[in-house]
Amino acid sequence: MTRPLKDQEAQALLQAGTVARLGCVSDGEAYVVPINYVFDAGFVFSHSLPGKKVDALRTHPRACLQIDQIESDTEWRSVIAYGTYEEIHSPVERGAILNKLLSRFPRLTPVEAVAVHDAAAPETVVFRLRVDAITGVAED
Amino acid sequence: MTRPLKDQEAQALLQAGTVARLGCVSDGEAYVVPINYVFDAGFVFSHSLPGKKVDALRTHPRACLQIDQIESDTEWRSVIAYGTYEEIHSPVERGAILNKLLSRFPRLTPVEAVAVHDAAAPETVVFRLRVDAITGVAED
């Protein structure tokens, strides 16, 4: 049967994960995409090329991040973190966040690797989610 | 670099998948949860115990289903299917759908296994999404 995760278990899963599904609201409908992320000190850090996800989050900044570890149909845990989208514009902060992402994901795409070396380049959108709630459930 | 998936590739991924992330809108916010599903003839079939997901879908029946195959940070494909939630009440249809799910996921939880044998039992919510759009992207 399913059980709620303890706060500590939910935080640990959020910390350990590298792929999350980001849900946001686009034109009144849910929109879900996979993202790479780093969770650190209450923030989820990520980056994106401009597009539907960024447009949606700029318009409707509340987001839902879902992360899971699925061993089988009957052995899994899943965490949801709710947060608010904040876009990072300062070149210093952009560089620091892109470096944090690069150290976790060494194989960023070319456009993003360039952005690490020139964080003032506007192409890559750097953002964080200010997380205000984390919940989790497990079946094990 | 990412590329759009051909219709056929996107359909194939949706058909092959067993775990999807279902995004819906709950109290104006995105809500994302993993579900087991079967895609057949234009419909996504699934089931659930009553709760936040079912409450959300009853109120706001548009849903976004995201399915992916992730080999690595730079080798992945992801599909999104948009659809409308339809709850199944007829015992005959409920039984047929639960059997379809049971044959794909033999280890349903006890409450659901009971429901297969007594599809009139109201506890398990049986539903489908009437899919009206499928899109996909890949990096490979």
The per-residue pLDDT for range A44-83, each reduced to its tens digit, is 999 998 999 999 999 999 999 999 998 887 889 999 999 9
The per-residue pLDDT for range B50-84, each reduced to its tens digit, is 999 999 999 999 999 999 998 887 889 999 999 99
Mean pLDDT of A99-128: 75
Residue type at A23 in one-letter notation = G
| Cβ pair B76, B66 in contact under 8 A | no
Q: Which two tokens stand for residue B135?
A: 């899109």
Mean pLDDT of B7-35: 96
Look-up of token digits 């560089």: A95
Position A118 pLDDT exceeds 70: no
Superfamily of domain A2-139: Electron Transport, Fmn-binding Protein; Chain A (2.30.110.10)
What is the predicted pLDDT for the residue at B57? Answer: 98
What is the predicted pLDDT for the residue at B120? Answer: 60
Higher pLDDT, A115 or A10: A10
Phi, psi of A41, deg, nearest 5: 50, 45
Q: What is the value of pTM for the model shown?
A: 0.90
Residues of chain B with Cβ-Cβ distance to A78 below 8 Å are 33-34
CA distance B126 to A118: 52
Interchain contact, A64 vs B19, CB within 8 Å: no
Residues of chain B with Cβ-Cβ distance to A32 below 8 Å are 21-23, 30, 32, 64-66, 80
Res. B123 pLDDT band, cuts 50 70 90: confident
Work out the mean pLDDT of chain A and round it to a whole number: 90
- Tell me the nearest-neighbour CA distance from B117 into chain A, angstroms: 19
Residues of chain A with Cβ-Cβ distance to B108 below 8 Å are 73
Mean pLDDT of B99-117: 73
Q: What residues have CB less than 8 Å from A95, skipping those under 6 apart? A: A116, A119
Interchain contact, B73 vs A23, CB within 8 Å: no
Domain spans, chain A: 2-139
Mean pLDDT of A88-113: 83
ipTM score of complex = 0.89
What is the predicted pLDDT for the residue at A116? Answer: 62
Question: Could you give the 3-state DSSP secondary structure of residue B27?
Answer: coil
Mutate to test the interface with B, among A73, A114, A129, A140 (most CBs of B within 10 A): A73
Residues of chain B with Cβ-Cβ distance to A25 below 8 Å are 25, 28-30
From the list A28, A65, A73, the residue facing B105 with the nearest CB is A73
